[in-house]
Structure 1
Amino acid sequence: MPVAYGDIRVDVGLRLDLLVDDLVVIEIKAIDALASIHTAQVATYLRFSGRRLGYLINFNTTLIKNGLRRVVR
């Protein structure tokens, strides 16, 4: 995803893990615990892409619902 700042556009920008139906940003992790920096990463992706909804999914949990975090801008 390119990054734009004013009239300047940089094509080597951010790399989204998944973009579902051009609406929902999904960031996938496999770590011991989610931290606030991971939520901030998804929020940054939402801000730069102009999307409003994102999910942060950690697959390193016993139940997937314990590793799911919804981020709304």
Structure 2
Amino acid sequence: MLLTKTYLKDLTYKINGAAIEVHKELGPGLLESVYHKCMKTELTLRGISFKSELKVKINFKGNELETDYRCDLLVEDCIVLELKAQDNLPPIHQAQILTYMKLLKKPKGILFNFHCINLYNEGQKTFVNEYFSLLDD
């Protein structure tokens, strides 16, 4: 697989479709862990590979350190997914996904908040970083 902006756009579309399907089936009001399990099932049904609860290591002054941080889902080894189920998402959650993207050296991330009426319009936010800008179209 050649990682390009077009590939990421197409994969984002597929991921959004999976998340919308989960939200359509369950609606808002459940725990984050339920949405996580259902997202794993939906991605699997759609043939999309992922890693769940991936440990995020930190390189500090040349030392690779184990941490207790875990990325909810890393899809196709290129898009970080962070799942939430909260009334409001404070800015720290955006900082969290951007940090995971940086530490994992991944070009794109999607933050889903399943505690909303319309997931596509109000429950998802997509992020890109400097790794994205280095990709070909």
- Cα separation, 2, equivalents of 1:48 and 1:13: 13
Gaps of 5+ in 2: 1-55, 130-137
Which amino acid in the other structure matches residue 76 of structure 2? D
- Cα separation, 2, equivalents of 1:37 and 1:12: 18
- Find out whether 1:14 has 2:69 as its counterpart: yes
SS class of match (2:96): helix
Alignment correspondent of 1:31: 86
- Cα separation, 1, equivalents of 2:102 and 2:73: 16
SS class of match (2:87): coil
Specify whether residues 42 and 2 from structure 1 end up closer, same or farther in structure 2 by C-alpha distance, changes over 3 A only.
same
- Find out whether 1:69 has 2:121 as its counterpart: no
Structure 1-normalised TM-score?
A: 0.91
Give the CA deviation at 1:13.
Answer: 4.6
Structure ID, larger Rg? 2
- Cα separation, 1, equivalents of 2:92 and 2:81: 15
Give the CA deviation at 1:5.
Answer: 1.6
Specify whether residues 34 and 28 from structure 1 end up closer, same or farther in structure 2 by C-alpha distance, changes over 3 A only.
same
User: Larger % of helix: which?
Assistant: 2
SS class of match (1:17): strand
SS class of match (2:99): helix
